């Protein structure tokens, strides 16, 4: 039977278009982003910083032949465009598995259609968007039928070779040498510059721009508030001493080839003692000395999935937080669905409590009491509630499509009592989960409200204990009017719905996608900061609003603010205020 490529392409194109419209809301259509391909606005994983030459080529006899140069090009495309969702080993995560037992049966023509037009599940249309040429689409369809190239492991030898103490602890200041109000400093990720900018929240001026790894994912602050830990997606950790006259790097290490998470010990008696980082590749976590980043202990996370008990060779480490009830790190393993309570009181005789939660764990944060950790199992549309005092799973709560809370938002709902909130990448809802099992037992660990927001594509939601506002971004929505603005709710009158604040317009920038991302409060809770994230060669900005009036207070522009994304206020991050 002859393969009808044209018919499949036409049918899949219609299905994909309908499906994608459904993902972001029936009334929304891609529009209004000058110079920005539609595929850039779709939900996809970030590029994997593994280089083609680092992954050994494996030739499969039954697969279409490729030259060495073609393999190199295909590996580069896969790591840059595909691995963030499908995994380095193509075992699947956000995206479906792409291993030869599946792809060989599909064949080259079939795979070309999916790469060209995307899929009904929301995969970007790499070909028709112009991101990949016809030649590259054909190449990738053939490449996917070969065994996945495997990057090298990264152990203690490699870590110590990368580890540098730039300023030994004995040579560091004994007291703070600057006049900066460190409690109100913001660590701002300059995504495409490989840097962070430290911005004084009082003066709105850049204190320092510090070189880091590629595309810093998060910044974390030591319990004392002195040290800042930042981790790039290339698994490089930079330790910054904010007591220096000019805050600067004092230590650096690589803990793998790709990573996302870093945290520091906070339990009484262990303040600033340890740091921990979780890697995407190799799948493992590393415990280090808090003041030098010296690697002390590496633990692999390869193992069996929590549901079907199948072995997974690439369970990546997602979010990590420090427990306030025990000397433990809460480590979330994405693909297998295990939450690990790692006891660091004796790392030579490490004790780990393994809690089976749910697969595809991603980001999350504590409830207002800092006892219950709320983590998104994003591809299962659930929030797992973990009791960090008793080290047990409390509940799996069904929410909207692809929850993406950041660290979430805690506040008191006028009807349901204390709640924790998350937005979603896959639909326009905001889920509110009751978090008080004592005084509001009937509402605890249930979705008590589902608010309607602007649309899908939300990355972060935020409020503050001193605020009556709930801010929700929609940075990855394909509609420009939605991605360039934020929704804000009055917590005291949630039934009223949301107001729209056009943050990008306030920034006064030129053309570009101008995505508005990650509301973040100052330490006093009376200002809220937004990144206006433009293209690498375009002007970006930070917009500061008065939280009470919701009016513009300042616009921070600087040539050094290249693609600002995440912002982390020192005090709020240090004390888990969100």
258 vs 33: CA distance, rounded Å: 30
Choose, from 338, 362, 424, 464, the residue flagged as catalytic: 362
Q: What is the largest CA-CA distance in the chain?
A: 78
Query: In the Cβ-directed half-sphere of 469, how many Cα atoms lie within 13 Å?
Result: 23
C-alpha angle 114-120-121 in degrees, rounded to nearest 5: 100
Q: Does the annotation count 326 as an active-site position?
A: no
Answer yes or no: are the C-beta atoms of 424 and 456 closer than 8 Å: yes
Choose, from 146, 217, 326, 404, the residue flagged as catalytic: 404
82 is catalytic: yes
Q: Is residue 362 flagged as an active site residue?
A: yes
**CA triple 9-11-12, angle to 5 deg:** 65
Does 464 participate in catalysis according to the annotation? no
Please, how many CA atoms are within 13 Å of residue 201, restricted to the half-sphere of its CB?
27
Cα–Cα distance between 560 and 210 in angstroms, integer?
Answer: 11
- Could you say which of 33, 41, 86, 159 is catalytic? 86
Long-range contacts made by residues 339-344, C-beta under 8 angstroms, separation at least 24?
339/373, 339/375, 339/384, 339/386, 339/393, 340/301, 341/388, 341/391, 342/276, 342/285, 342/287, 342/299, 344/265, 344/270, 344/273, 344/274, 344/276, 344/287
- The span from the CA of 190 to the CA of 196, in Å, is 5
DSSP letter for each residue of 419-447: EEEE-BSSSSEEEEEE--TTTSGGGBTSE
Among 82, 341, 374, 447, the one annotated catalytic: 82
Number of other CB atoms surrounding residue 324 within 10 Å:
16
Catalytic residue among 123, 140, 244, 374: 123
Report the catalytic residues: 82, 85-86, 123, 362, 404
């Amino acid at each position: 039977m002859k393969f009808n490529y044209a018919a499949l392409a036409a049918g899949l194109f219609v299905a994909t278009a309908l499906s994608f419209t459904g993902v972001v809301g029936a009334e929304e259509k891609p529009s209004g982003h000058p110079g920005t391909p539609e595929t850039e606005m779709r939900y996809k994983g970030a590029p994997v910083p593994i280089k083609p030459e680092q992954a050994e080529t494996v030739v499969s006899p039954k697969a279409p032949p490729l030259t060495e140069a073609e393999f190199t090009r295909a590996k580069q495309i896969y790591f840059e465009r595909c691995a963030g969702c499908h995994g380095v080993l193509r075992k699947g995560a956000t995206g479906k598995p792409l291993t030869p037992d599946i792809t060989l049966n599909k064949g080259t023509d079939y795979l070309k259609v999916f790469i060209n037009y995307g899929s009904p599940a929301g995969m970007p249309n790499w070909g028709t968007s112009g991101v990949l040429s016809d030649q590259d689409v054909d190449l990738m369809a053939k490449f996917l039928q070969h065994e996945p190239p495997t990057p090298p492991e990264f152990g203690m030898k490699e870590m110590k070779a990368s580890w540098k103490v730039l300023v030994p602890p004995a040579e560091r200041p004994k007291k703070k040498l600057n006049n900066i109000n460190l409690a109100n400093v913001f660590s701002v990720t300059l995504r495409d510059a490989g840097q962070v900018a430290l911005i004084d929240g009082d003066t709105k001026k850049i204190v320092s721009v510090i070189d880091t790894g590629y595309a810093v994912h998060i910044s974390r602050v030591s319990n004392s508030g002195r040290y800042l830990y930042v981790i790039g997606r290339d698994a490089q950790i930079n330790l910054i001493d904010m007591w220096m006259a000019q805050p600067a790097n004092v230590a650096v290490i690589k803990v793998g080839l790709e990573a996302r998470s870093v945290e520091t010990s906070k339990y009484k008696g262990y303040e600033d003692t340890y740091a921990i980082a979780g890697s995407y590749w190799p799948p493992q976590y590393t415990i280090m000395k808090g003041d030098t980043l010296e690697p002390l202990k590496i633990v692999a996370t390869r193992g069996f999935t929590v549901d079907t008990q199948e072995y997974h060779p690439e369970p990546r480490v997602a979010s990590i937080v420090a427990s306030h009830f025990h000397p433990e790190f809460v480590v979330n393993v994405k693909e297998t669905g295990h939450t690990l309570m790692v006891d660091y009181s004796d790392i030579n005789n490490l004790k780990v409590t393994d809690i089976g939660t749910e697969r595809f764990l991603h980001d999350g944060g504590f409830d207002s009491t800092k006892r219950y950790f709320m983590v998104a199992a994003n591809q299962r549309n659930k929030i797992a509630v973990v009791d960090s005092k008793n080290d047990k799973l409390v509940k799996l709560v069904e929410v909207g499509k692809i929850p993406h809370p950041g660290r979430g938002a805690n506040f008191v709902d006028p009807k349901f009592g204390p709640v924790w909130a998350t937005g979603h990448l896959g639909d326009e809802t905001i889920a509110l989960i009751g978090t008080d099992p004592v005084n509001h037992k009937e509402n605890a660990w249930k979705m008590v409200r589902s608010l309607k927001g602007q649309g899908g594509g939300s990355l972060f939601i935020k409020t503050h204990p001193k605020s009556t506002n709930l801010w929700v971004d929609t940075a990855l929505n394909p509609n420009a009017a939605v991605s360039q603005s934020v929704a804000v709710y009055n917590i005291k009158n949630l039934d009223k719905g949301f107001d729209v604040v056009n943050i990008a317009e306030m920034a006064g920038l030129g053309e570009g996608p101008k995505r508005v991302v990650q509301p973040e409060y100052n330490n006093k809770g009376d200002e809220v900061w937004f990144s206006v994230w433009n293209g690498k060669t375009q002007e970006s900005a930070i917009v500061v609003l008065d939280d009470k009036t919701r009016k513009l207070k300042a616009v921070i522009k600087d040539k050094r603010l290249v693609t600002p994304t995440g912002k982390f206020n020192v005090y709020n991050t240090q004390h888990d205020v969100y």
